[in-house]
Amino acid sequence: MSEVTQILQAIEKGDSAAADQFLPLVYSELRKLAACKMANEPPGQTLQPTALVHEAWLRLGGGDGQLWTGRAHFFGAAAEAMRRILIENARRRKALRHGGGQQRLDIQEVEVAAPAEDEQLLQIDDALGRFSLLDQKKAELVKLRYFIGMTIEESAQTLGISEATAKRWWEYARAWLHAEVIAQHRNK
């Protein structure tokens, strides 16, 4: 049985320590998988977050009879992990551009296709952080949609809500975040 499966079962039983271990685990799995894929692809290719996450899920044995809630946990963690990877990449590139050329980092950059330009990505992430304080659930939905490219339908299933609700949440969250990002621009 894989480590992920064990942890998922522990989470099912309400083990909160297991929940804390889970995110780093998914994070490192995603990185490993991405690095391995990069090595086998021609240079210049970028990896699609959706494909990457789904493949990670299958590799971890997610295909065979996993609990539904386990799936939800996994994709929730994967969205957060992907968000961190993307934000790290954006921050690092930004630092390099701003004359930080000497601070070479030993982690190999994983070329994951980002949904937006670095600057915008960081702004959106900022706004999303504020939004999640206000409405955790809807912020989860945004992460699933935005960072791992889930459709409304998939994200509704993952969160255990109806598609109609997901769509409504999405539109509200999107309007909220858009307004926030625009306001940030104006204040600059």
Partner 1 sequence: METNPQDSPSTTGAAREEAIFNAAKTLPKADRAAYLATACGAETELRQRIELLLESHEQAGDFLQPQPAAAGSAPTLVVSPSALEKPGDFIGHYKIRELLGEGGCGAVYVAEQTEPVRRKVALKVIKLGMDTRNVMARFEAERQALAMMDHPNIARVFDAGATETGRPYFVMELVRGIKITDYCDQNNLSTAQRLELFIQVCHAVQHAHQKGIIHRDLKPSNILVTLHDGVPVPKVIDFGIAKATEGRLSDLTVYTELHQFIGTPAYMSPEQAEMSGLDIDTRGDIYSLGVLLYELLTGRTPFDPQELIRSGLDQMRRTIREEEPVRPSTRLSTLMEADLTALARRHGAEPPKLIHLVRGDLDWIVMKALEKDRTRRFATANALAADTERFLKNEPVEARPPSSVYKLQKMLRRNKPAFAAAAAVIGALVVGLGLSLYLYTKERAALRKEKEAVRRAQDAEQQQVLLREQAEKGLAIERKAREMSSVGNQLTTAGFLMSQGLFDRAEELMKEVTPIIPQSASIYYALGARHFGNGELKAAITNFTTSVRVDPTNHFWYHYLAPVLVLADENDQYQKLREQILNQFKGTSDPAVAERMAKDCLILAPPAADLETLGRMADVAVSAGPTNKDYPYYQFVKGFAEYRQDHPAASVGWLQSVIAQGGNVARMVEAYAVLSMAQLKQQHTNDARESLAAAQELAGNRLERSEVSNWNDRIIAKELIKEAAAQLDSLQQAAPVSK
Nearest distance in Å: CB 55, partner 1:
12
Residue 184 lies near partner 1 (rule: CB under 8 A)? no
Q: Which of 5, 9, 48, 132 binds partner 1 (CB under 8 A)?
A: 48
b/e code 84-119 from CB counts within 10 Å (16+ = b):
bbbbebbebeeeeeeeeeeeeeeeeebbbebeeebe
Nearest to 165 by CA among 136, 138, 144: 138
Measured CA angle at 117 (ends 113, 118), to 5 deg: 95
Q: Which of 60, 82, 124, 156 binds partner 1 (CB under 8 A)?
A: 124
Residue 45 lies near partner 1 (rule: CB under 8 A)? yes
Residue 152 lies near partner 1 (rule: CB under 8 A)? yes
Residues found near partner 1 in the complex (CB under 8 A): 45-48, 51, 113, 115, 124, 134-135, 142, 145-146, 149, 151-153, 164, 168, 171-172, 174-179, 181-182
